[in-house]
Amino acid sequence: MKKYISLLCLFLLFILSSYHTIKTRAAEIPSELYAKAAILMDGTNQRVLFGKEEKTELPMASTTKIMTCLYTLEHGNLSDVVTFSERAASAPKVHLGAKAGSQFLLSDLLYALMLESYNDAAIAIAEHLGGSVEAFCQAMTEEARSYGCYQTSFETPNGLDSDNHYTTCYDLAILTCHALNNKDFRSIIQESSYTIKEITGGQIYSLSNKDAFLTSYPGAIGVKTGFTNGAGYCFVGAVETDDRLLISVVLGSGWPPNRSYKWKDTRKLMDYGIENFENVTISLGDDIPGQLPVDHGQAQVCDISQPGTVTLLLNPEEEKAVCTADLLPSLNAPVREGDSVGTVTLSINGEIYRKYPVKVAADTERINYRWCLDRLLEKYFYG
């Protein structure tokens, strides 16, 4: 009997040791990435979960086409007919190979752009929407700025190397967050294959999605590959499960013949996000009173709004969230609904994540002679 008990104890110790090893391994931050720069972002709220040189400006190759596609979906008419110019027809490989004068539906060219990453499709789209490649790229840059991508400059619509064409992993992840909010964008990048037809001659083109990550990782929904001699291998990935949306970016993830490095880096980032983070709901209003005193007001106090809760992906082993309130001690009438009375600051491991406004919930008028008279009449004549 003692022998069996000893064996059982050894077995339990082995299980506990294995569990500890697994937990320790799972908690490791991605290291030894091939990429020059990388990021893992929570696509729901744009919080950075991991970064490596994520704000370093680098060329981004055909991941540029994420913006080309999004801008077209937001500003173009997908039923438009697009005619290939000489410039579009002479775009270098990878290309559709259509001749000048060829015509396609704008909607079809977006599939050629995103599935096969055709450079001539990007030129044709840019000229159609912008009037010129240069004007289109300027418009894309300005649009990216409106998203908060302040370290991004587009000089080509296809991502071919150019002196003033660059972004950062952070900006590219932010841009992808916006793109994934567009249902048509999501639909395009998840197609495994698609067929388009040239309008005038009827030539058929069969397109296949070159995103191998899409079919090799659970929950993968895209997004875009890229390669140039200057940028190296690049990839923007996205994984969506029931409770999270993760976006990864790797730039400069090896050069030929190391085509697989970008996939290895992306899997490492996504594994880290899946294994080490869980949704945590944080109450922002625990330290906030329901009312604040009002000086010279027709009411002595006024109600203030509660910021409510926020749900974030946190690493429970490594991250601690703390809320601190900074409110005015009192208000001076008149007070209007929506007036700011302070903020709640949410910090994670001592670093500010976001500030949330606290506001007045209802009007409070200032004491005046008419109000005083009404109170006197109420007290001495109507009381």
- Output the pLDDT for position 6: 53
- Output the pLDDT for position 21: 41
- Output the pLDDT for position 177: 97
**What gap in Å lies between CA 44 and CA 313, rounded to an integer?**
9
Average pLDDT, 10 consecutive residues per value, the chain (383 residues): 49 46 52 95 96 98 98 97 96 93 97 97 97 98 97 97 96 98 97 96 94 95 96 98 96 96 97 95 89 90 90 93 93 92 94 94 87 75 65
- Output the pLDDT for position 307: 87
pTM comes to: 0.86
Total Cβ atoms within 10 A of residue 186: 16
CA torsion, ordered 193, 199, 203, 208, to nearest 10 deg: -10
- Output the pLDDT for position 25: 40
Residue 327, phi then psi, degrees to nearest 5: -120, 155
**What gap in Å lies between CA 219 and CA 118, rounded to an integer?**
26
Domains of the chain by range and CATH? 33-276 (3.40.710.10), 281-359 (2.60.410.10)
- Output the pLDDT for position 306: 84
- Output the pLDDT for position 381: 73
**What gap in Å lies between CA 342 and CA 348, rounded to an integer?**
20
CA torsion, ordered 89, 91, 97, 101, to nearest 10 deg: -10
**Beta strands in the chain, from DSSP E residues, in sequence order:** 37-42, 47-52, 81-83, 103-105, 193-197, 204-208, 220-228, 232-240, 245-251, 278-283, 291-295, 301-303, 309-314, 321-327, 331-332, 340-348, 351-359
